[in-house]
């Protein structure tokens, strides 16, 4: 997958999360979980974009590590939203899958970059 494709994919993930968080109930729990998810999911896109502009291999790898963490964190918030019953599993399935796939892509990319750097 090319950098531009992944930039678009991470941005689309963030946009889909933005729309999903608007569908959360206007409760204290919905607000807190929505804000946490919104922060982590938008961070995936922003930090991947930043990684692509990294000035060195170590900086690139470090930024990808942040993307991996934020993507995994997004999966956690999506799980909490589902398991707390705020939104049905059916509405969250595609977002959960995308978050897990992005995490896996980042893990693989970090490994590849580390091998290329050594």
pLDDT of residue 2: 74
Q: How far apart are CA 47 and CA 43, in angstroms?
A: 6
pTM assigned to the model: 0.93
Q: How does 49-85 read in b/e, with b if 16+ C-beta sit within 10 Å?
A: bbbeeeeeeeebbebbebbbbbbbbbbebbeebbeee
Beta carbons of 77 and 33 less than 8 angstroms apart: yes
**pLDDT tens for residues 22-77?**
999 999 999 999 999 999 999 999 999 999 998 999 999 999 999 999 999 999 99
Beta carbons of 44 and 76 less than 8 angstroms apart: no
The residue extents of the domains of the chain are 3-117
pLDDT of residue 110: 95
pLDDT of residue 118: 76
Q: With 80 as the cut, is the pLDDT of residue 1 above it? A: no
Beta carbons of 21 and 31 less than 8 angstroms apart: no
* CATH superfamily placement of domain 3-117: 23S rRNA-intervening sequence (1.20.1440.60)
Q: With 90 as the cut, is the pLDDT of residue 117 above it? A: no
């Amino acid at each position: 997958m090319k950098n531009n494709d992944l930039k678009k994919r991470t941005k689309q993930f963030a946009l889909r999360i933005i729309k999903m968080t608007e569908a959360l109930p206007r409760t204290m729990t919905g607000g807190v979980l929505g804000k946490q998810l919104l922060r982590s999911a938008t961070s995936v896109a922003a930090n991947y974009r930043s990684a692509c502009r990294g000035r060195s291999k170590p900086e690139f790898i470090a930024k990808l590590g942040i993307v991996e963490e934020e993507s995994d964190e997004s999966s956690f918030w999506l799980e909490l939203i589902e398991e707390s019953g705020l939104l049905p599993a059916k509405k969250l399935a595609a977002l959960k899958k995308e978050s897990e796939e992005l995490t896996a892509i980042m893990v693989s990319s970090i490994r590849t970059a580390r091998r290329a750097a050594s």
